[in-house]
Chains A and B, each alone.
Chain A
Amino acid sequence: LAKTTQPISMDSYEGQEVNITCSHNNIATNDYITWYQQFPSQGPRFIIQGYKTKVTNEVASLFIPADRKSSTLSLPRVSLSDTAVYYCLVGSGGGADGLTFGKGTHLIIQP
């Protein structure tokens, strides 16, 4: 299972773009990169998933360089409600495999 490293915490302000980078040097060929968001006392919520290059949805963008050893979650124009813990997960996701969560990045958005 590829180990991931991401900052423990980040601060930003409303309206700014926030980029959270995750390192996963040992990513395997069949691994996907998935980001979840978690608010206090709630379940993790799927944000975005990618394999290579760039993926964009209505919530975020995910940038993955060619070597796939890192990835960057980009949140455009954040608001106070984006304050949460963000988890980067790497794995094949196949079958019934359980997800392995790290400590995540605690993002704090200030007015």
Chain B
Amino acid sequence: EPEVTQTPSHQVTQMGQEVILRCVPISNHLYFYWYRQILGQKVEFLVSFYNNEISEKSEIFDDQFSVERPDGSNFTLKIRSTKLEDSAMYFCASKGLAGQEETQYFGPGTRLLVL
């Protein structure tokens, strides 16, 4: 069964450093998403991406964040200058079709720890 994959599974970085989280969505999917979950809290939507551009973003997704689909398979989230409060699990998700009944499939996540 096709699945979303994410790398790395864990990332430790120093405050102020740039990090890039990588995702390979399910191959025939058209919509791509990033979510985060701070330890013990809810899963929060960050951004959605369709047709090579951002479709929707939350207030969390400020200028420190960017997304890119550099080739036909990868989808990346970049945090330009990490802060302590960026420590969280980051989940990538993808969805196949534009139909209402389609649902999002999540990857296993990247655990980011900012020191």
Chain B interface mostly: strand
Residue B75 at the chain A interface, CB threshold 8 Å: no
Residues of B96-115 at the interface with A, using a CB-CB cut-off of 8 Å, are 98-109, 111
Q: B105, A46: Cβ atoms under 8 Å?
A: yes
Tell whether, in the assembled complex, residue B31 and residue A96 are in contact, meaning their CB atoms are under 8 Å apart: yes
Q: Does B14 contact A (CB under 8 A)?
A: no
Q: State the CA gap A51–B101 with chains docked (Å).
A: 9
> Nearest residue in B to A36 (C-beta to C-beta)?
B106
Write out the residue numbers on chain A whose beta carbons fall within 8 Å of the beta carbon of B101: 32, 49, 51, 93
The total number of A-B Cβ pairs within 8 Å is 70
9 closest cross-chain pairs (CB), A and B: A98-B45, A96-B55, A43-B106, A96-B48, A101-B43, A96-B50, A43-B91, A94-B100, A44-B106
26 A–B pairs (Cβ distance < 8 Å), ordered by A:
A30-B100, A41-B89, A41-B111, A42-B109, A43-B91, A43-B109, A46-B103, A46-B104, A93-B101, A93-B102, A94-B98, A95-B50, A95-B55, A96-B31, A96-B50, A97-B48, A98-B33, A98-B35, A98-B48, A98-B56, A99-B33, A99-B93, A99-B104, A101-B42, A101-B43, A103-B42
By the criterion of a CB under 8 Å from any partner CB, how many residues of chain A are at the interface?
Answer: 25
- Chain B positions within 8 Å of A, measured between CB atoms, are 4, 31, 33, 35, 42-50, 55-56, 58, 89, 91, 93, 98-109, 111
A98 & B50 in contact (Cβ 8 Å cutoff): no
Q: Which residues in chain A, 82-103, are within 8 Å of chain B measured between CB atoms?
A: 87, 92-103
- Chain A residues contacting B107 (CB-CB under 8 Å) are 43
Known: A34-B103, A98-B33. A44 touches B111 (CB 8 A): no
How far is it, in angstroms, between the C-alpha of A93 and the C-alpha of B48 when the chains are bound? 12
Report the minimum CB–CB distance from B6 to chain A (whole Å).
8
Does A54 count as interface, using CB distance less than 8 angstroms?
no
Question: What is the CA–CA distance of A103 and B41 in the complex, to the nearest angstrom?
Answer: 8
